[in-house]
Amino acid sequence: MRIFKFGGASVKDAAGIKNVHSVLQQVGYEDVLLVVSAMGKTTNALELVIKNYFEKSKELNASIQEIKKYHNQILLDLFEDDKNAVFTAVNKHFLDLEYFLSSNKSPNYNFVYDQVVSMGEIISTTILSHYFNHVGIKNHWVDVRNFIKTDNTYRDAIVDWDTTQKTISKNIKRKVLNITQGFLGSDENNFTTTLGREGSDYTAAIFAYCLNAESVTIWKDVPGVLNADPRYFENTTLLNQISYREAIELAFYGASVIHPKTLQPLQSKEIPLYVKSFLNPLLPGTSIAKGSHLEPETSCFIVKKNQLLLSLSSIDFSFIMEENISEIFALFHKYKIKVSLIQNTAISFSVCIEDKFGNFGELKNILAKKFKIFYNENVSLYTIRHFTDKAISMVEKDKTVLVKQMSRETMQIVTQE
């Protein structure tokens, strides 16, 4: 079986869905499982719904109606007859969303988040499945929440691999086209969980691992993995092939083309990963596999925006020792703070962090009881793999460098724009 993952950009409108159909016609769809994200910016729109819900905003209903309107237009563009069963199916999902918001009693933001944002993937795959049936491609719609089982760490759930393996290997149909949702799972009480933003790549890897898949292909609007994000860098280079190790390094440092958790299950079973263009599906793209090397050999650039540079120093000028660092990292773990760079001296300790869950304010108050605190907001963290003097100069140009750190293969630079 082959696993294909299509992200939100590939199904953002009716033309995108028709293009996915075209891709499958060209590359084949027998014994394929499609993992599909929410359409376009639907997840962002659902996050606004959640914000309005918790703020008890008068805009709550309007924000839901905007999402309905967006999806309804796609339906009208795809189906000639508005009596098609897909209209009823999609409307039911919106009714489920509205019922949850009207009946929910939980004040837990992360729990509510997962129950609400999941509707983006459920609706997108419902539309895709009905459209494929409409144009003659029979398929099996799969609710991923019945297959990927997790703990109840809402918004960043941990997979229960044993249960997931048994469920997927026993119940996924072979020799047909399966369509399922990225990003989602469910806990032991069958409440929806999510695997972290951009987690659809990880979903594809989970299915590949459990099904001993032939390969995974991530379909993007770029020709493959580039050596830098074209939004921030000019003259990017296509990487034809990458080793698992190099890809894991790039993903760890924040390369947006691959989700950080995706590579490990694939590497463990030596399942190749391809990153290809849904605009030119017959081009080779980038292959990530065992034994590959970085080709062409070039510097790779990764940038993470909206980071925090936090520096802690002892109040009494005593050394920052192992027990202090251990305590600090325990707090980072508790408050779900992602650490991307560490640097310490005798009496100070600096980290570049990402406050994905908005917990820094609370953490800062706790740390201030034991340490002097200095921090810079909205800094950028640049990581250069296989750096050269020219690459370093290009990154540093017209920026204030706050921290610079170098190892054998990697340089990291924290800048204030």
Residue 335: its pLDDT value, please?
94
Task: Say what the pTM is.
Answer: 0.86
374-395 per-position pLDDT tens digit: 999 999 999 999 999 999 999 9
408 is in an annotated binding site: no
10-46 per-position pLDDT tens digit: 999 999 999 999 999 999 999 999 999 999 999 999 9
Q: Are 185 and 145 in contact, with CB atoms under 8 Å apart?
A: yes
164-187 per-position pLDDT tens digit: 999 999 999 999 999 999 999 999
How confident is the model over 338-355, as a mean pLDDT? 90
Q: What is the mean pLDDT of the chain?
A: 94
Nearest to 148 by CA among 116, 177, 187, 120: 187
Q: What is the DSSP string of 137-167?
A: --EEE--GGGT-BB-S-TTSPPB-HHHHHHH
pLDDT at 53 over 80: yes
Nearest to 50 by CA among 130, 137, 115, 145: 115
The number of residues in the chain equals 417
Residue 231: its pLDDT value, please?
87
**Cα–Cα distance for residue pair 49/20, rounded to 1 Å:** 28
**Cα–Cα distance for residue pair 201/274, rounded to 1 Å:** 11
**Cα–Cα distance for residue pair 38/290, rounded to 1 Å:** 31
DSSP SS3 for 191:
coil
223-254 per-position pLDDT tens digit: 999 999 888 998 899 999 999 989 888 888 88
How confident is the model over 148-161, as a mean pLDDT? 97
CB-based burial of residue 182 (10 Å sphere; 0-12 exposed, 13-18 middle, 19+ buried)?
Answer: buried
Which band of pLDDT confidence, cut at 50, 70 and 90, is reported for residue 64?
very high
Residue 26: its pLDDT value, please?
97
Which band of pLDDT confidence, cut at 50, 70 and 90, is reported for residue 5?
very high
pLDDT at 317 over 80: no
Beta strands in 279-345 (DSSP E): 286-289, 300-314, 338-344
Strongest mean pLDDT among 192-201, 208-217, 230-239: 208-217
Which band of pLDDT confidence, cut at 50, 70 and 90, is reported for residue 308?
very high
Q: In the chain, what percentage of residues exceed pLDDT 90?
A: 84
Nearest to 84 by CA among 133, 120, 18: 133
Q: Are 225 and 274 in contact, with CB atoms under 8 Å apart?
A: no
417 is in an annotated binding site: no
Residue 6: C-alpha distances to residues 1, 125, 181, 187 (Å): 16, 11, 10, 25
**Cα–Cα distance for residue pair 126/146, rounded to 1 Å:** 16
**Cα–Cα distance for residue pair 412/302, rounded to 1 Å:** 9
Q: Are 403 and 341 in contact, with CB atoms under 8 Å apart?
A: yes
Domains, the chain, with CATH or none: 2-213 (3.40.1160.10), 300-416 (3.30.2130.10)
One-letter identity of residue 214: E
Residue 102: its pLDDT value, please?
97
Under DSSP, the state recorded for 350 is E
Structure tokens at 196: 């972290």
274-291 per-position pLDDT tens digit: 999 999 999 999 999 988
pLDDT at 197 over 80: no
Nearest to 354 by CA among 340, 344, 364, 375: 340
Which band of pLDDT confidence, cut at 50, 70 and 90, is reported for residue 257?
low
pLDDT at 356 over 90: no
pLDDT at 104 over 70: yes
Helix H or strand E encompassing 182 = none
